[in-house]
Structure 1
Amino acid sequence: MQALDSKTPIQLPDHTQLPCEDGTFVKNFQEHPQSILLTESIWGKLQEIHPDRQFCIGQDSGIYWRITEPPQKGAEAPDWFYVPNVSPTLEGKIRRSYVLWQELVAPLIAIEFVSGNGAEERDKTPYQGKFWVYEKAIRIPFYGIYEEKKASLEMYHLIAGKYQLMFPNERGHYVIEGMGVELGIWQGIYKNMDLPWLRWWDFQGNLILTGEERADGEKRRADGEKQRADEEKLRADEEKLRADGEKLRAERLAAKLRELGVELE
C-alpha cells in the first residue's frame, strides 16, 4: 500500500463502494411481512411529519459506523429503522446502505426481531455487540427488541448517553416521541398469518392501518351501507305490499256491501 503524506486527503468509502449484504438468510417467514407492515402503516404519518419527504426507512439495511476490514464488521443491519430529515436518495442514487460518515444523522428508532434467545440483540460487548453499537456508537434514541415467540417488546430510550428501559403506558404501548405514535403488539391476521405483530397506534389509542386495511374497511362499510339500504328497501316493499293488500281488501268489502244494498259514504 502506498504511503500517504500529510497533504493527501483521506477518501472514505461511500454507500456505492461498501457491501450491501452479508449473505445471511432471513431468519423466518414473519420478518419481511413484519417490516413491510411497520413501513406501510407508518408511511402516511411520516409524510405528515415530513411534507418535504425528507426521511428514509431501512429494512435489513446496513448502517456503517466505522471503517474495518472486512467492511461488514463495521456495520449493523437492524431489521427496521427510520431516519428523519434526510433525503430518500443520496446524490440522486438509491442507497445501498446507510453510511454515517456520509449522512451524519442517526436513525431515530431501530428495531430488531429476535430469532434466537435474544443474546445477540442484547450484547453489550464494546465495538461488537448490537446493544453497545446502537447505544454508544450510532446513538439511536429508541431501540426495540421484539420477540415474536414470547409476544414481547422491550424498548429502550437513550438518555444522557445510556439506554434506559422504557415502561409501557396504560394501553401497553410505548410512546415514540418525534414520530407522534405509540408502538405495541397487536394479535391478528396479516398476510394470511395470525400472529402477534408489531403495530403503530396514534396517541388516542387508534390503530394506524395500512392502505390495504383502510381499503378493506371502506369496502366493508360500503357493503354494510348497501346491505342496510337493501334491508330498508325490502321493508318498504313489504309495507307497500301490506298497504296494497289492505286497500284491496277494503275495495272488495265495499263492493260486497254495495251488492247487499249497503251504500258507504
Structure 2
Amino acid sequence: MSQLTRSQPEIKPFPDHTQLPESDGTFVKNFQEHPQSILLTDSIKTTLDKLHPDGQYAIGQDCGIYWRMTEPPERGAESPDWFYVPNVPPTIDGIRRSYVLWQELIPPLIVIEFVSGDGSEERDQTPLRRNQPEPQRPGKFWVYEQIIRPVFYAIYEVQKASVEVYILVAGHYQLLPANERDHYPISPLGVELGIWQGRYQNSELPWLRWWDEQGNLLLTGWEQVELERQRAERAELKLEQQRQRAEQLAELLRSQGINPDEL
C-alpha cells in the first residue's frame, strides 16, 4: 500500500535591494530639497571619510528604507530625505537601489526629514495596527522610533527656519536640547546640526548645515575652493602692497641722492 506524500510549501527568501522598487512614483516636492540634500552630503564627506578610512558607510538621499514586506512593496518602506548608516558598504555589487533592514540589520545613525507641508506627516505617531481588513499605514514618527530606530531623528522646516532633533532614549524619542550656539550635537559624528542663513546654489535661505564641535561651519568642496581663492588673493594683495611700499622708499632714497641698491 503506497503512502501519499504531502509536498512541502515553497519557502521564498526575502527580497534584497535589487528586487524591491527604488521609487514609488512621487517626485521631489520643491526646488529646495535636492540642493539641501547635496549640501548636507558634500559638507560632511571629509568628516565621514576620517571616521571611516575603509569607506564603509552609506548616505541615502530620498531613497527607501525597507522595514517590512507588504503588497505593494513600497508600503513597507520609508524614504527619508537624508540619512547616514555607519559600517555598511556604500554599494552592493556596484549599486545601492534602497536600504533593506532585514538584509543589512544596521539602522541609520541619523535620519532627516524636510517638511514640505505642515509637519504633521513627519510627527505622525500612529502605530501599526495589524489584523485589520485594510491595515492603516503607520505614522512616520512611529516607524522611525519603533521599527527603523535611528539614534537621531531630525525634522527640518525651511519655512520656519527651524529644526527639531530627537534622540532615542530607552526605546523612545526625546527632544534633544540645543547648545549655546543653538546647534544640536550629534556626538557620535563629532558634529553639530543647525540652521545657517546664507546663499547656496543661487538661493538665499535658512539652510540646514553641519558645524564641528568648536562651532566652525563645515564647508562644501566649492566653499573650500572659494576660501582658498580668497586667501590667495589676500596674500597676493599683501605682497603687492609691500612691493609698492618698498618702491616708494627706494624713490625717496634716490631723491636724496642715495642709491638704495648699495644699502
Q: Same fold (TM over 0.5)?
A: yes
- The letter for the 2-side match of 1:5 is Q
Deviation at 1:9, TM superposition (A): 3.6
Out of 175, 192, 202, the residue aligned to residue 185 of structure 2 is 175
Identify if the C-alpha distance between structure 1 residues 200 and 63 changes in structure 2 by more than 3 Å, giving closer, same or farther: same
The CA deviation string for residues 76-97 of structure 1, in whole angstroms up to 9 with x for no partner, is 000000000001112x131100
SS in 2 for 1:247: coil
Question: Aligned partners of 2:146 and 2:257: how far apart in 1?
Answer: 87
SS in 1 for 2:189: coil
Residue segments in structure 1 that go unaligned for 5+ positions in a row: 249-265
What is the match of residue 124 of structure 1? Answer: 125
Question: Aligned partners of 2:150 and 2:25: how far apart in 1?
Answer: 25
Q: Does 1:245 align with 2:255?
A: yes
Question: Aligned partners of 2:102 and 2:169: how far apart in 1?
Answer: 23
Higher alpha-carbon Rg? 1
Give identity over the alignment, percent: 61
Q: Does 1:225 align with 2:235?
A: yes
SS in 2 for 1:123: coil
Q: How many residues align?
A: 244
SS in 2 for 1:146: strand
Give the 5 Å matches for 1:92-241. 92-127=93-128, 128-241=138-251
SS in 1 for 2:159: coil
Deviation at 1:5, TM superposition (A): 3.0
SS in 2 for 1:188: strand
Q: Does 1:74 align with 2:76?
A: yes
Out of 31, 34, 37, the residue aligned to residue 33 of structure 2 is 31
What is the match of residue 260 of structure 1? Answer: none
Identify if the C-alpha distance between structure 1 residues 216 and 17 changes in structure 2 by more than 3 Å, giving closer, same or farther: same
What is the match of residue 85 of structure 2? Answer: 83
Residue segments in structure 2 that go unaligned for 5+ positions in a row: 1-5, 129-137, 259-263
RMSD: 1.4
- The letter for the 2-side match of 1:135 is E
SS in 1 for 2:188: coil
Question: Aligned partners of 2:8 and 2:58: how far apart in 1?
Answer: 38
What TM-score results when the alignment is normalised by the length of structure 1?
0.89
